[in-house]
């Protein structure tokens, strides 16, 4: 039976972790993700889970401990943000190359410098090429549901890829929201009582060696196995989402559209900004403007074909990036979407807005400006910095 409660994003993710009941959680505190593992540590102390909680001395050590525990066959989770995620970067591609289905709660926060504790997507985007599945959440409900689905996705034998589920720092992580919690038994049945590991360091009847040097004779082939798994990930993500929808009534896709079918002017966004954009889409529709929103929920693997199909009939598209590539060619989402649209015979005009760096607010007026610009798109520069002071 569903239970309706009020929880912050951090509380929702900690609650999902309690219901998942992983074998091992290794973590180090960092704002604004600290609360997730702090709450979970209380669950451990109170005997509500059977998890071995490893309090390490750094995020680098946290991911290293996760790698060891996952290689031993355990169901393993962690949480981090910003510089903590950066400190894990050395180990993230090791986790994916070893095909270890670690699941991470990542609270999006700006990367230093200067030092900043508020939201943008620079931490997750900088990790986009490490072989991790990446899922963005619009609100606390999506974070809760996404984390439960992430266990099934990561552990699928066709993938065995580490997966991160993100929320926007403070905007979602610390804001109270109404969510529907599932029964503990339903979550357990959905994800399975325990991980079915392909190999385990603790299996003495079938000894394996993990982490050896891998030079030119085999390195290329082993990295291509990660690429092949990522190609399969879209199908697995959708299969898990379909089963989740049938059992619990909430449907998720790789992308989600809002008034998109006949939209001429479309905003593309990730995370909490999508909720704000929907308000302005409704305003534009009331004025007779065929506005729409395309929300990217899964950024890795990148749903290029799905996005191209969804945007193919639009006149003009604005891609919103809460991070910058520093390439002078636009943000991470923009470059991916633009590349994915390249093979269309007729493409909408596309422009890019970098916004919200370091927690800078994006408000209704900013999005009204974006839709106004789209109606005069030929006069707009390719890349703009939305809300920055001159």
Domain interval for residue 357:
255-386
99 neighbors 160 (Cβ within 8 angstroms): yes
335 and 232 in a common domain: no
Give mean pLDDT, residues 353-372. 98
Number of domains the chain contains: 2
Residue from 187, 272, 199 nearest 16 by CA: 187
310 and 288 in a common domain: yes
Q: What is the per-residue pLDDT for 2?
A: 86
- Whether residue 1 is predicted with pLDDT greater than 80 in this model: the reply is no
Q: Poorest-confidence range of 29-38, 123-132, 191-200, 286-295?
A: 191-200
211 is a domain residue? yes
Extract the tokens encoding 235. Answer: 């199908």
- Whether residue 390 is predicted with pLDDT greater than 90 in this model: the reply is no
Task: Dump the DSSP string for 251-295.
Answer: ---SEEEES-TT-SEEEEE-TTHHHHHHHHHHHHHHTT--EEEEE
Beta strands in the chain (DSSP E): 3-8, 24-27, 52-55, 76-80, 103-108, 133-136, 163-168, 176-181, 255-258, 265-269, 291-296, 298-300, 316-321, 349-355, 383-386
Phi, psi for residue 270 in degrees, rounded to 5: -130, 155
213 and 83 in a common domain: yes
Residue from 155, 154, 175, 176 nearest 165 by CA: 154
68 and 112 in a common domain: yes
pLDDT above 90: percentage of residues in the chain: 95
Q: What is the per-residue pLDDT for 212?
A: 87
Q: What is the per-residue pLDDT for 19?
A: 98
86 is a domain residue? yes
Interatomic CA distance for residues 65 and 57, integer angstroms? 11
230 and 269 in a common domain: no
Give mean pLDDT, residues 230-239. 98
The length of the chain is 390
Extract the tokens encoding 149. Answer: 């689905």
- Whether residue 338 is predicted with pLDDT greater than 80 in this model: the reply is yes
86-120 residue pLDDT tens? 999 999 999 999 999 999 999 999 999 999 999 99
Task: Give SS3 for 53.
Answer: strand
Alpha carbon separation from 200 to 61, 95, 214, 340 (Å, rounded)? 21, 14, 20, 39
379 and 280 in a common domain: yes
Q: In which band, very low, low, confident or very high, does the pLDDT at 190 lie, cut at 50, 70 and 90? A: very high
Task: Give SS3 for 390.
Answer: coil
96 and 172 in a common domain: yes
Q: What is the per-residue pLDDT for 68?
A: 97
Give mean pLDDT, residues 382-388. 97
Q: In which band, very low, low, confident or very high, does the pLDDT at 16 lie, cut at 50, 70 and 90? A: very high
181 and 280 in a common domain: no
- Whether residue 236 is predicted with pLDDT greater than 80 in this model: the reply is yes
178 and 265 in a common domain: no
270 and 149 in a common domain: no
Q: Poorest-confidence range of 200-209, 251-260, 373-382?
A: 200-209
50-70 residue pLDDT tens? 999 999 999 999 999 999 999
Give mean pLDDT, residues 217-242. 97
Interatomic CA distance for residues 11 and 58, integer angstroms? 23
Cis peptide before 118 (omega within 30 of 0): no
143 and 164 in a common domain: yes
Give mean pLDDT, residues 117-139. 98
Give mean pLDDT, residues 160-169. 98
198 is a domain residue? no
What mean pLDDT value characterizes the chain? 97
237 and 270 in a common domain: no
Give mean pLDDT, residues 131-138. 98
- Whether residue 15 is predicted with pLDDT greater than 80 in this model: the reply is yes
Q: In which band, very low, low, confident or very high, does the pLDDT at 199 lie, cut at 50, 70 and 90? A: confident
Q: In which band, very low, low, confident or very high, does the pLDDT at 240 lie, cut at 50, 70 and 90? A: very high
pTM beyond 0.85, yes or no: yes
Q: What is the CATH number of the domain that holds 269?
A: 3.40.50.920
Residue in this structure with the two tokens 């109606």, named with its chain if needed: 375
pLDDT above 70: percentage of residues in the chain: 100
311 neighbors 360 (Cβ within 8 angstroms): no
Cα torsion angle, 38, 54, 67, 160, sign = negative
Q: What is the CATH number of the domain that holds 145?
A: 3.40.50.970
313-327 residue pLDDT tens? 999 999 999 999 999
């Amino acid at each position: 039976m569903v239970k309706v409660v009020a929880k912050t994003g951090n509380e929702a993710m900690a609650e999902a972790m309690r219901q998942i009941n992983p074998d091992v959680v290794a973590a180090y505190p960092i704002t604004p993700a600290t609360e997730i593992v702090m709450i979970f540590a209380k669950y451990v102390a109170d005997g509500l889970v059977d998890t071995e909680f490893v309090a390490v001395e750094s995020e680098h050590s946290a991911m290293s401990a996760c790698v060891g525990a996952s290689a031993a066959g355990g169901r393993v989770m962690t949480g981090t943000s910003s510089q903590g995620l950066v400190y894990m970067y050395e180990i993230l591609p090791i986790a994916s190359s070893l095909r270890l289905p670690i699941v991470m709660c990542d609270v999006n926060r700006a990367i230093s410098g200067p030092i900043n504790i508020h939201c943008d997507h620079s931490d997750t985007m900088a990790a986009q090429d490490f072989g991790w599945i990446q899922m963005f959440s619009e609100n606390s409900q999506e974070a809760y549901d996404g984390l439960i689905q992430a266990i099934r996705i990561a552990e699928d034998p066709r993938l065995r890829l580490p997966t991160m589920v993100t929320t926007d720092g403070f905007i979602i992580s610390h804001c109270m929201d109404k969510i529907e919690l599932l029964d503990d038994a339903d979550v357990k049945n959905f994800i399975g009582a325990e991980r079915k590991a392909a190999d385990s360091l603790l299996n003495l009847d079938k000894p394996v060696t993990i982490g050896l040097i891998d030079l030119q004779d085999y390195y290329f082939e082993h990295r291509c196995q990660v690429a092949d798994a990522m190609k399969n990930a879209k199908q697995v993500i959708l299969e898990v989402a379909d089963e989740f929808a049938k059992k619990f009534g909430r449907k998720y896709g790789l992308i989600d559209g809002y008034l998109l079918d006949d939209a001429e002017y479309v905003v593309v966004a990730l995370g909490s900004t999508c909720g704000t954009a929907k308000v302005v889409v409704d305003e534009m529709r009331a004025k007779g403007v065929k506005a729409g929103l395309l929300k990217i929920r899964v950024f890795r693997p990148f749903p290029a074909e799905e996005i191209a199909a969804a945007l193919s009939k639009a006149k003009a598209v604005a891609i919103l990036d809460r991070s910058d590539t520093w390439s002078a060619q636009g943000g991470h989402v923009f470059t991916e979407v633009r590349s994915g649209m390249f093979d269309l015979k007729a493409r909408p005009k596309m422009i890019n807005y970098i916004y919200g760096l370091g927690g800078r607010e994006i408000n209704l007026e900013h999005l009204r400006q974006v839709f106004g610009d789209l109606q005069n798109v030929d006069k707009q520069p390719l890349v703009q910095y939305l809300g920055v002071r001159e």
